[in-house]
Homo-oligomer: A and B are copies of this chain.
Amino acid sequence: MARRVEASAPARPAAANDRASHGKGWRTGLTLIEPNRILVRGYPLDEVMGRVSYGEAVYLLLVGELPTPAIGKLMEALLVALIDHGTTPPSTQAARTVATSGAPLRACVAAGVLGFGTYHGGDIEGCMQLLERGVALARGGRTYEDVAAELVGEFIARHEPVPGFGHRIHTHDPRVARLFQMALELDLDGQHLKMVRALERALNATRPPDSHIPINVDGAIAAVCSEIGLAPAVGSAMFIISRVPGLIAQSLEEQERERPMRQIDSSAVVYDGPKERRLPGTRK
């Protein structure tokens, strides 16, 4: 008998069920472990080390094949884009709060990951589904403007926000501009990026000029992930992967610099890190 699947769980197509394990034996296609031998998607892990970037290895593991060099560069940029976002996100606050109780680092990270709820990183998957639907409609012969107007209209009629648009803090998120610029330079500026911009125009055509709702970083990541062929569940997972070092750095800073059991009021934080600085010339 079929069972119901939580909204956020991956869909379970008939084909997948046909492949499901029967009896005790079951299968994995990810990693082969034998004594002194580790293959990830068929490649010996020691051969991959030093020859494939981490972003490329993440793509290999999650998609099954090595990416093109251009996609590999975009994967690394995606991971860098979300590595930390200061002290205010719920994920970071959850990690710091657990850290203040004296818990081990693993517990801080786990609590932080649990703080990626519907309202925090949850737009990536929904925006990817929206973009895929839009691109499919456009492939049927309609213009991007026409499709985008219809899709935006649906959300407005339901009084729901369009996933991937609007941010608590940034009106022109520097990560968004940079991701789109890189996609352009790497010749990865295809239908999904065209669609997300069409949606932005359609959404703001309905609004007064002084209340522009920009593409947010979830929306930009959704567009780029769709463009490079990631499934929506995988695109959404990129946020978790990327932010773990941020959760770790924030938890370690909490335990190094603050007294235990404090009440964390994020409105009272003062940045005392390095002043703005430029990358060395060799990096540009």
Contact = CB atoms under 8 A, between A and B. Distances in A.
A86 interface: yes
A265 B16 CA distance: 20
A107 B8 CA distance: 11
A17 B87 CA distance: 20
A87 to B, nearest CB: 6
Interface string A103-122: 11111111101111111101
B268 A24 contact: yes
A190 interface: no
Contacts of A40: 83-84
B283 A52 contact: yes
Interface residues of A, number: 154
Interface stretch (A136-144, A146-154, A177-185, A192-200): A177-185
26 contacts: A4-B118, A4-B163, A24-B265, A26-B270, A28-B271, A31-B273, A40-B83, A42-B275, A45-B83, A50-B80, A52-B279, A53-B55, A61-B249, A90-B101, A97-B115, A98-B117, A100-B117, A103-B118, A105-B233, A105-B236, A107-B114, A110-B110, A110-B114, A168-B261, A234-B248, A263-B265
A208 interface: no
B115 A101 contact: yes
B97 A93 contact: yes
A237 B182 CA distance: 30
Contacts of A242: 54
Interface string A51-95: 111110110011010100000010011011101111110110110
A44 interface: yes
A16 to B, nearest CB: 5
Top 6 nearest A-B pairs (CB, nearest first) are: A101-B117, A42-B274, A102-B118, A103-B117, A29-B273, A33-B86
A117 to B, nearest CB: 3
A64 B284 CA distance: 20
